[in-house]
Amino acid sequence: MGDPVHLCSCTPLMIQRYRSRISGPLLDRIDIHIEVPAVKYRDLTDHADGECSAVIAARVAASREVQKARFAGTKVRCNAQMTARMIRQYCEPDPAGARMLELVTDRLGLSARSYTRILKVARTVADLDGSDGIKENHISEAIQYRSLDRKT
């Protein structure tokens, strides 16, 4: 399923039964879940330059420093460990992001735990982007990392 080259022979009921093997409460505790499609041979052999690993590593290190400063004096070391109070303090999205989050939460029937996971991931995405606030695009990206929430 999801493979653009090979057709899935499973019925929707079979797929739903397979996915239900992982309980919702367990799935809620996983911050990021995405589908990773197979890579085509020509993409593997493509010599086009992508973003350099050193640039990515520097962005991650800068994000970690922001988080270290944000949580200085607490036992929390990174966004994933934030308490409910910290989420309210540090994860307030802009108005457009709040509208998007409301729409998605209502439409998909997300649990409170999924909602907070999205906010924490959006905070990290904003940190990686060098942004003080969480914007709509950060919320949108964080929602994309919750693909199994959309597979009910």
Task: Summarize pLDDT for 71-85 with one digit per residue, the tens.
Answer: 999 999 999 999 999
Q: Provide the pLDDT for residue 76.
A: 96
Among residues 84, 80, 90, 116, the alpha carbon closest in space to that of 101 is found at 116
- pLDDT at residue 123 is higher than 70: yes
The pLDDT of 33-46, averaged and rounded, is 81
- pLDDT at residue 115 is higher than 80: yes
Beta strands, E only, the chain: none
Task: Give yes or no for a contact between 124 and 82, defined as CB atoms under 8 angstroms apart.
Answer: no
Q: Is residue 124 part of a domain?
A: yes
Q: Is residue 3 part of a domain?
A: no
Domain that includes residue 143, residue range: 12-150
Task: Specify the range with the lowest mean pLDDT, choosing from 30-34, 106-110, 138-142.
Answer: 30-34
Q: Is residue 98 part of a domain?
A: yes
Tally of residues, the chain:
152
Phi, psi (deg, nearest 5) at residue 87: -60, -45
Q: Is residue 22 part of a domain?
A: yes
Q: Provide the pLDDT for residue 26.
A: 77
Q: Is residue 79 part of a domain?
A: yes
- Count up the domains in the chain and report the number: 1
CB neighbours of 77 closer than 8 A, spacing ≥ 6?
67, 68, 71
Average pLDDT over the chain, rounded to an integer: 88
Task: Give yes or no for a contact between 3 and 38, defined as CB atoms under 8 angstroms apart.
Answer: yes
Task: Specify the range with the lowest mean pLDDT, choosing from 51-60, 112-121, 143-152.
Answer: 143-152
Q: Is residue 2 part of a domain?
A: no
Question: Between these two residues, 148 and 74, which has the higher pLDDT value?
Answer: 74
